[in-house]
Structure 1
């Protein structure tokens, strides 16, 4: 059975840096499990590691989807498993890294995705446009509180998909999740830290200083506003509300930044709720000194 290391947890905990450190020790290669880092050109706002910070470690599944593509977890599942197989076949250690819980479970566990109904989806999409995401999210919460807790109330695409699955299958969306059993010889390392709210705010301001607004302006030229998924990403969605189609600022950018901070903190709470349900995860305080050695010691205890 292929041995896989997964590094998971909320955003802004330092997963990418730890992954590079461990990959250099374990002769590993990294497979991205951040749904928005799959999109080409979305670099600053997704905290995609610049090439020069990757420590010579090969990264897979970055910049593989164009902006106009709608996210497809089943498609990601196939790509991630192919990348893991390729890495293992070459005698290297696959390291899956990210904070997108459904993508991680899709890659690692025996998870089968239900089919689609264009008719049901079209109906729900029309309701979304008329009623708005918040109202549909309340409907989802009444039908499946667990699913609603894991989906942002502003994420209309995922809300529609959850409601579509419920109507299509007659089952709760969350009930289709399999037991926490991987198809791999898996060790999961989870990172969290108590000062995450402060780190989120600092990171958003650093993204702005690094040129996130200019990145949004550039991506506008390539269809970001009309993207069914990429345009809804944290930071991008808020800044899109602050500029017109030419990139000219039409609303308060500081307010958009504050909205991004608040939305990211809410997202962190949902990530925590999702990952804390997985009993396989070995949790570490990402702010503690000696993190690398502590993780390596845990891997040794797991007979790695």
Structure 2
């Protein structure tokens, strides 16, 4: 491909989001784009926010980050609760600081609600600790399935979109319905022009190929020390964490260490949980008409992504030679 001069039409950079299912290769493309554009990475993977949760989240080591600044990684202790609202505020500040410095924010990850909170106008309803505590007590006493049934009675639409096993989101939906008197969906963002004119690129692969990649990644995590990582994090309070202890891989290893099953079963369940999560990610992202899908297995993936960004945002964000 011959390079095209794109040094003159836009007044400044706009962000790029690289999203999609787990294990598709998002981090590599994001780093390539950041290198080419003079960008910085903004993590949008909820569990990579946690210090010490490295192997099980496939977090890039410092030596793998190519000297590129990364934001919203290692910002929480495992005892802290990861919330979409906290992330939204902090990540927006990071993106706007990067833009002010004339660099390109490259947002990368696959946490669905986090992505929507960053790129859409999402105003979070207030929380009430008394109401929240009431529903959390009911969750502890009755379990998530029973609570999911209660949610279905007051907000069938919310129940259809929240897994019966996701106790935390069930409690939040019930809280919002109680406090606002409106369906939970009424507080969700409406898809419109993405904030900052962000170009949204999603990667995917053939399902059989992606399943194989997930299996290899899961096996490698267990081979390279996931169990030891979890054991060390227990000393840091992992068991008391509301969100960290439920992360895929970590929850399964914790159960194995508690004697619920052996480590081979923990690895199998981690693979199954990851594969199930990938199906949910695909379904979620496919509903967004703003997303540009690319085959992660393409030999010229970076060139395709570069052309896509140039076409959508126009020429001239920076004096960079874009391929055509």
Verify: 1:187 aligned to 2:196, yes or no: no
How far did 1:222 drift? Answer: 0.4
Structure with the greater relative contact order (CA < 8 A, sep ≥ 6): 1 or 2?
A: 2
Change in CA separation of 1:229 and 1:81 when aligned onto 2, cut-off 3 Å:
same
The number of residue pairs the alignment matches comes to 300
Match for residue 279 of structure 2 among 246, 269, 272: 269
Match for residue 46 of structure 2 among 22, 35, 40: 35
- Cα distance in 2 between the residues matched to 1:250 and 1:118: 33
Match for residue 66 of structure 2 among 38, 47, 55: 55
How far did 1:172 drift? Answer: 2.5
How far did 1:167 drift? Answer: 2.2
Q: Which residue of 2 aligns with 1:124?
A: 135
How far did 1:129 drift? Answer: 1.0
Structure number with greater Rg is 2
- Cα distance in 1 between the residues matched to 2:228 and 2:310: 45
Q: Secondary structure at the match of 2:77?
A: coil
CA contact (8 A) 2:80 2:241 kept: yes
Q: Which residue of 2 aligns with 1:174?
A: 185
Match for residue 307 of structure 2 among 287, 297, 301: 297
CA contact (8 A) 2:39 2:103 kept: yes
Give the gaps of 5 or more residues in structure 1.
none
- Cα distance in 1 between the residues matched to 2:153 and 2:214: 30
Greater CA drift, 31-40 or 66-75? 66-75
Give the gaps of 5 or more residues in structure 2.
1-11, 316-324
Q: Which residue of 2 aligns with 1:222?
A: 236
Q: Secondary structure at the match of 2:46?
A: coil
CA contact (8 A) 2:13 2:103 kept: no
How far did 1:123 drift? Answer: 1.6
Q: Secondary structure at the match of 2:40?
A: strand
- Cα distance in 2 between the residues matched to 1:55 and 1:264: 27
Deviation digits for residues 31-83 of structure 1, max 9, x if unmatched?
Answer: 01111111111101111111111111110010001111112211111100110
Q: How does 1:205-216 map to 2 (within 5 A)?
A: 205-216=219-230
TM-score normalised to structure 2 length = 0.87
- Cα distance in 1 between the residues matched to 2:147 and 2:214: 28
Q: Which residue of 2 aligns with 1:237?
A: 251
CA contact (8 A) 2:34 2:106 kept: yes
Q: Which residue of 2 aligns with 1:83?
A: 94
- Cα distance in 1 between the residues matched to 2:35 and 2:156: 41
TM-score normalised to structure 1 length = 0.93
Deviation digits for residues 241-276 of structure 1, max 9, x if unmatched?
Answer: 1114xxxx6731111111111111111111112111
Change in CA separation of 1:220 and 1:127 when aligned onto 2, cut-off 3 Å:
same
